[in-house]
Structures are given as C-alpha cells and as structure tokens.
Structure 1
Amino acid sequence: MANDTLEQNRRHPIPTQPTRGSGTLLDAIEGTLADFLAAQIAALDAVDPALGGLARTTRDLVLVGGKRLRPTFAYWGWRGVSAEPIEPVLPALAALELMHTFALVHDDVMDDSATRRGRPTAHRIFERQHGARFGKSAAILVGDLCLVWADQLIARAPLPAATLFGVRARYDRMRVEAVAGQYLDILGESSADGWSVDRALLVARLKTASYTVQRPLQFGLALAGPSSPETLDTAYERYGSLVGEAFQLRDDLLGVFGDPSVTGKPAGDDLRTGKPTALLLLARRLATPAQLALLKTVSLPDAAGLSGAARLSGAAGLSDADIGAVAEVIAETGAVARVESMIRERVAEAVAALAAAPIAAEARAALIELAVRATERPA
C-alpha cells in the first residue's frame, strides 16, 4: 500500500499553498528573510561599515539558494492541523533557514570545505581579505550571528505565549541534537575504532534527520498551538526520523558519486577525510579481502597514519584517480545497492507512518511527495 501511494505521488508536484498575496510558500520565506536581513544590515552599518560588510556577506550566504527543506517541512507540519493564515508563523518558519546557515557555515569550517552550493564557503570568502586564520574566525562569527538572528526572528512571530513556549522547546531540542550529531560526526573522522553502521545511522538521526525533517515537522505542529493531537506528533516523529535517515543516506551516496556541477561540492570529500559513513562501513563489511585491502589503503580513518587534521589539510594526497578507484570498489561490493534499498525501505515506512495520522489530506500528500523528493534528489 505504501509503495502504491509513493508511485501515485511521484506523478504530482508538491502542493504549494500561496499566501494572501500571489506568491508561493518559498516566495514568502525568501521575502521574510530578505526584509529581516535588510534591517539587520542597516543596524550594523550604523555601528561600523565593517560590520555592515559582515552582515551583507551573511545575508548572501543565507539567500544564495538551497532547497528550503526545513521551513517547508515545518510549514506542512503546521498546515497538517491548521487552516489559519500563514503570516503569523512566517517569522518562525524563516528562522529555520538562519539556523541551517549557522550549521552549514560551521560544518564547512570543520571540514575545511572549499565550496558550498557551487560557491566559495564563508571561511574562503573571508580568507581572501586577511588570510586563513581570519577567514575561519570570521566564518565562525557568521554562524554565531545566524543563530542569534534565528532566535530574534522566532520571537517576532505574533503568537500566544503558550504556543511560543512549545515552539521554543522543539527548537532548542533541534539545536542540541544537531550539535550532538556534529560532534559524533567529527569524532568518527578522528577515532572510528569500533564504529558501526548502527552508529553511523545514529549520527544521521542526530545531525541530519533531527534538524532537517523530524524536529521541523514537530516545530510546525507546535506553531499550531498546545492542543495539537499527540498521535500526530508521534507520527511526525516516526516519519521524520525515517525520511531524515534516508536523506543522509542519499547524501552519503552523493558525497562519493555525485556530480560536483550539480551538487555544488567536490566529489570524494568523505573518502578523503575517512568519514565512517554507512556507505563506507557497509562497503567494508561486504568487501572481498582484495577489495578491503584497497579500502584500507586509502579510505580508513587511520590511512597512512595521518591524523584527522592532516587529512583535512590534504596531507593524505588522494588524487582524483584514487577517489575514482575507491568509488568503483565501493560500488562493486554491493554497498551502493544496499544503501539504495535502505533509502526505499525508510521512505515506504515513513509513508506508512502517516497513513492513520489525523492530518489534513493535502498535508499528507505533500509530505509523501517531499519524502520522495528529498531522498531521490541529484544534489
């Protein structure tokens, strides 16, 4: 039944409700962000022009693009039980993009990534001004600024105090879980002894599922007020965890096999850093002795006896040919097919979790379509 529903929804676009004007949901999110950021730029410009420059760079990083998945999931989480006008909840929905930018900028600093969305990362932008140390320091401050601005934007939502308290609880949990997942992620790169597929999936649940799908859905439900049904909260929890895991599994595949011109990021970064993704761990488990020998040579965290910091700085010296060879071996082990199967299984289970949930029909259809779009994407 779940698979039939998936096939039906693949043939239809995601329903996107307009606001009271003529724009779409994404137009409303973009407009809310642009207006808020313009005011912040003006305020910092008045203090010192250099601060205005910092704010403008931050604005550009926020508005440069992206899927806007988090506010979209939050919107449908809210719309699942609410027929009210969208305007009062727009600041809270848009705030999730500021939190997302915080996470991306800090993640790029930790990974020393050169590009994001096909453009230079924040620390590389600032590096051009005053060198590498300044670039990383300024980028950290950009992330911090986005997190503060997200708090301010949520506080602007004209909602009852009881509702805002519930929203804030979801938001705080989302942030803690994102930090916890990021810590485990960098721990895996530096000390992956005993790391397992289950632990890699735990990282996926904390780092990705929580703040991409699961908590935004529950955040949106909280925007509808404290009387929202608990059964729907439970369904969102289940759906969000499954779709979020599938989203990260797709990321794992794109990190090795994605087209950089489409993903906006270099291919093979996970292999260069020895990140113990579910894909890589499955490949090791399924590999023949000869295949495992190659994987150990270039992709295990202790490859060449290098520390995580050394690998991140490029000391591992993996060429594009090396990356291509490892990718080919990973595919030959059957790990890619297994991950694709894991993605399909999770999406089907997520759809099933919504089947009996007390949710508006349009929201159910949108969430089913989002589950497919988020996990079958090319970037």
Structure 2
Amino acid sequence: MRQQAAEPAVVPATSAPARPAPVPPEQERNGRSAPLPPRLPDGTRGIPPRGPGPRAGSLRPDSDSDHDPDHDLASAVEAVLDGYLTLRREEAARISDRFTADIADRLIDLVRRGGKRLRPAFLWWGWRTGGGRPGDGDAEAVLHAAAALELVQACALVHDDLMDGSPLRRGAPAAHVALAGLHRAAGLDGDPAAFGASAALLAGDLALVWADDLWDEASPSPEARRRTRPVWRAMRTEMVAGQYLDLHGQASGAPSPSSALRVARLKSGLYTVERPLHLGAALADAGPRTTAALRRAGRCAGIAFQLRDDLLGVFGDPDRTGKPAGEDVRRGKPTYLMAVALRLARGRGRRAARDLLDRALGDPVLSAGELERIRAALTDLGARAAVERHIAELTDGALAALEELGGPAGPDGSPARRLAALVRTALGDAAGSRRALHAPTR
C-alpha cells in the first residue's frame, strides 16, 4: 500500500533470518529490544527520569529515538517484537534445540517476515484518539500490548493456512507445508503431511501462548488490566468463532450475503480493526462517547477490510499479495463476493453464470483459464462493482464515526485525523493497493 508522509507507518516488515541472534548489548542501549518499563510501587509501568541529554529508547517527542511511534509505528513495534521474540527463543532453547529449530524459529520467522502491522497501528491510534500521549509513562507498555496483536495474528495465519490447505504465506511456504518438507528431508517415519499439520497446529498454539504472555505483561496498571481483559477475551473467542463459521460455511453449500458478512466481521473485521481500537480506547480510559465512536468506525472499517481481502483473493496479483490467486474459490470459501454473485445470477436468470460459479466453488484443481472465466463472470454480473460500492459505503461510515472525534476534518496531525488516514490506507484508497488488483475482465 502506498504510504503518505503524514500517515501512520503501515509498511511491511523487513525479512529476518529464521534463527534470530541475541540482541547485542549496544543495540539494546539504542532501544532495539524495547524492554518493558518496570512496574513502580503503585503497579503502573514507569519510564525512569531522564538524565542529561536524550534517553536511549525513550518515546518522548524530544527524544532522539528512531522509534517515535507517532512517526514510525512499524519500527517501534518491530523493536518490541525483536526484543520479546529474542527472549522467548532463549527460553525455548533451554527446553529443546529441536523444538526451537523446528517450531519456535519457524514462528519467529513468520512474525518477523511481514505483515503491515495494521492491528498494532489501530490499537495505538485508538489509544492516542482516546487521550493517550506518547510522553506518558504508559506509552511503552501500550506498544507492547500492540505487539501482542501480531502474535494473535500469527496464530490465526498458521491455523487458517492449515485448515485451508494454503501453500503460501507472505511469499514463503506456509508452516504446515514447510514442516511436511522438513519431515521428508529428515527421512522421518510416518506421513509427512500429517506430521506437518500437527506441527503447524502446535506452532499456532505457541503464537497464542506468547501473545497472552506479552499482553499480560504489558498492561500498564491494574485498572488498565481490569478494563482491557474482557475485550481481549472477547476478541480471541470471536476470532475462533468466525473461523469455525467459515469452515462450516464451506461445508454447507452456497452462502447468503448476510451470512458471509457475519463471518467476515467475526473472522477478520473484529480482531483486525474494531477490537484493536476498542483495546486502545480501554487502555486510554476513554469516555463512553469516544469508545462508541471508535467501535463504530472499527466495525465498518473491519468488514470493509475483509471485503477488500476477498477481492484480492480472486483478482489479486500473487506477486503483490504473497498468496496464490483464486484460493478462496478453490477452497469453497463462502465469501461475500461469491454470495453476491450467486444472488445476482439467480435474480437475473443467468443460468450459465450460476452453473459456472457453482462448479468452480470448491474445485481444488481450478485452472488459471477457469479462474479467468470466473473473474469475467464476477465482473459481468456486477458482483465486483457491488462489493466495491459496499466497501466505499463502509469506508464512509467509518470516516463519519471518526468525524465525531475531530477527524478527518480535524487539525493536521490530530490523532483522529491520523486514524482516518490509516483507515483510508488500510481499505485500499492508496494507489499501491489498487495496483494489487487485476484490471476488470471484459
């Protein structure tokens, strides 16, 4: 996605080796490991008083740190993840070198290899819009809470790829595929695919364990833990429920648009946008009006985000998306795009188009040529345009909710305005995201 200078940083992370080296002491002094601030006697997280000159790793605006999250959130989150994953890898190595090499390192590589760090960005800007300030003693703890969302995302990706049989993730073999390859290369006994699936399940579980650990350690105060824990619990349960309904939808046949939207909200929209914003507001102890507006914005933006992903799943360029085009169709995914297309085909008496879509949905050997015919049908029926319109309506709804908080028409640089810019970027208004979609087939 193209990133404007005034917008929050949501660029992909730099690739890192699968077996991370310990962070050098001089790098730690420069803030790269982003240690969690110690708890003070009252239970809060505190930033020690500054001595003469800038304090390394400080998030204060007058600091010389390279990781001021208001200006480069991605780097600030990377610093937290680097330090945390290095520590967790050291713990894993004390348990078992084999476990570390096969599972922990593979998970660490996935986390470090990519993603736009959108979920941490939404949590951060929800916190900022709710009244949080970068110079506060809580800011570094909030960054750690934001980074925990990346580990929840890693869990979801590993399990989702396993359930869908997806071969690629972020331009590399998915965890279950790589682990099956490890089995073959080592000449182990048994079925490589079954081994890969079981090992990937454990890698996803490990990601969720580490996410919970980081979240529990990150809460800046007992009061913040009390406010945020119900939201954190709800988010994880919603994510699993959405995943199951997606699985059930694939097995139960043609989806309806309403059921597809429900799955989109539960499986992705809530934990991608709405709950991160809700968590940020809770960490900031935002008032009911601010929290409600942030949640409305997140609800609209979260569903729109998933609908954009549905479009990329069919029309996306694999070189840009990092996953094969057409996988949603081959797996029989009950997406809103396909549900709308089938409804339009039935309503207009387009029997040939309906039969084409019915045959393709769930066909694991769908060819590139057949995918092109699916793209043409989706475009000709108006399904692609209908989804684009719904994305635009949802985007307008998200921005209208933020308007109540002073964005997008607020002062330049205000948190609400920066959050509105993040919403636009995430939902594909940037030209870079548009280029990831193939031109409509005529």
- TM-score, normalised to structure 1's length? 0.89
The equivalent of 1:19 in structure 2 is 59
Which deviates more from structure 2 when the two are superposed, residues 182-191 or residues 23-32?
23-32
Instruction: String of CA shifts for 1:189-243, please: whole Å, max 9, x gaps.
Output: 11135x3101100111111110000000011111113xx2001111111111100
The equivalent of 1:218 in structure 2 is 278
Which of 35, 44, 52 is the matching residue for 2:100? 52
Are 1:73 and 2:126 matched, yes or no? no
Cα RMSD, aligned residues only: 1.9
Contact 1:218–1:237 at 8 Å: present in 2 too?
A: yes
Once residues 8 and 167 of structure 2 are traced to their aligned partners in structure 1, the CA distance between those partners, rounded to angstroms, is: 35
Which of 81, 89, 97 is the matching residue for 1:41? 89
Report the CA distance shift for 1:15/1:63 in structure 2 as closer, same or farther (over 3 A). Answer: closer
Once residues 134 and 293 of structure 1 are traced to their aligned partners in structure 2, the CA distance between those partners, rounded to angstroms, is: 38
| AA partner of residue 115 (structure 2) | G
Are 1:291 and 2:291 matched, yes or no? no
- Unaligned 5+ runs, structure 1: 1-9, 302-310
Report the CA distance shift for 1:11/1:37 in structure 2 as closer, same or farther (over 3 A). Answer: closer
The equivalent of 1:96 in structure 2 is 149
Identity value in percent: 43
Structure 1 residue 167, shift from structure 2 partner: 1.5
Instruction: String of CA shifts for 1:26-60, please: whole Å, max 9, x gaps.
Output: 11111111111111111111122112212111110
Structure 1 residue 134, shift from structure 2 partner: 1.2
| AA partner of residue 304 (structure 2) | A
Are 1:351 and 2:419 matched, yes or no? no
Could you say what secondary structure the match of 1:156 adopts? helix
The equivalent of 1:373 in structure 2 is 425
Are 1:32 and 2:80 matched, yes or no? yes
Question: How many residue pairs end up in the alignment?
Answer: 353
Once residues 35 and 11 of structure 1 are traced to their aligned partners in structure 2, the CA distance between those partners, rounded to angstroms, is: 28
1:72-221 equivalence runs, <5 A: 72-80=121-129, 81-83=131-133, 84-85=136-137, 86-130=139-183, 131-157=192-218, 159-192=220-253, 195-221=255-281
Are 1:261 and 2:319 matched, yes or no? yes
Contact 2:119–2:273 at 8 Å: present in 1 too?
A: yes
Report the CA distance shift for 1:59/1:75 in structure 2 as closer, same or farther (over 3 A). Answer: same
Could you say what secondary structure the match of 2:420 adopts? helix
Which deviates more from structure 2 when the two are superposed, residues 213-222 or residues 11-20?
11-20
- Unaligned 5+ runs, structure 2: 11-57, 184-191, 437-442
Contact 1:76–1:363 at 8 Å: present in 2 too?
A: yes
The equivalent of 2:336 in structure 1 is 278
Could you say what secondary structure the match of 2:356 adopts? helix
Are 1:364 and 2:416 matched, yes or no? yes
Contact 1:19–1:25 at 8 Å: present in 2 too?
A: no
Once residues 232 and 136 of structure 1 are traced to their aligned partners in structure 2, the CA distance between those partners, rounded to angstroms, is: 43
Once residues 141 and 335 of structure 2 are traced to their aligned partners in structure 1, the CA distance between those partners, rounded to angstroms, is: 40
Once residues 219 and 321 of structure 2 are traced to their aligned partners in structure 1, the CA distance between those partners, rounded to angstroms, is: 37
Once residues 169 and 297 of structure 2 are traced to their aligned partners in structure 1, the CA distance between those partners, rounded to angstroms, is: 28
Structure 1 residue 270, shift from structure 2 partner: 1.1
Contact 2:8–2:121 at 8 Å: present in 1 too?
A: no
Structure 1 residue 186, shift from structure 2 partner: 0.8
Structure 1 residue 290, shift from structure 2 partner: 2.2
Contact 1:70–1:97 at 8 Å: present in 2 too?
A: yes
Instruction: String of CA shifts for 1:269-311, please: whole Å, max 9, x gaps.
Output: 1111221211111111222222112222222x5xxxxxxxxx5
Once residues 213 and 236 of structure 1 are traced to their aligned partners in structure 2, the CA distance between those partners, rounded to angstroms, is: 10
Structure 1 residue 372, shift from structure 2 partner: 1.2
1:300-311 equivalence runs, <5 A: none
Which deviates more from structure 2 when the two are superposed, residues 22-31 or residues 89-98?
22-31
Report the CA distance shift for 1:16/1:290 in structure 2 as closer, same or farther (over 3 A). Answer: closer
Whose helix proportion is higher, 1 or 2?
1
The equivalent of 2:382 in structure 1 is 334
Structure 1 residue 15, shift from structure 2 partner: 4.1
Which deviates more from structure 2 when the two are superposed, residues 363-372 or residues 59-68?
363-372
Contact 2:155–2:207 at 8 Å: present in 1 too?
A: yes
Contact 1:174–1:215 at 8 Å: present in 2 too?
A: yes
Once residues 212 and 332 of structure 2 are traced to their aligned partners in structure 1, the CA distance between those partners, rounded to angstroms, is: 35
Structure 1 residue 358, shift from structure 2 partner: 7.1
Contact 1:19–1:28 at 8 Å: present in 2 too?
A: no
Instruction: String of CA shifts for 1:61-106, please: whole Å, max 9, x gaps.
Output: 1111111000000000001111125212221111000001001100
Once residues 71 and 15 of structure 1 are traced to their aligned partners in structure 2, the CA distance between those partners, rounded to angstroms, is: 11
Specify which structure has the bigger relative contact order, considering alpha-carbon pairs within 8 angstroms and separated by 6 or more residues: 1
| AA partner of residue 102 (structure 1) | C
Contact 1:214–1:241 at 8 Å: present in 2 too?
A: yes
Once residues 158 and 219 of structure 2 are traced to their aligned partners in structure 1, the CA distance between those partners, rounded to angstroms, is: 29
Contact 1:232–1:358 at 8 Å: present in 2 too?
A: no
Instruction: String of CA shifts for 1:6-27, please: whole Å, max 9, x gaps.
Output: xxxx976314699341222211
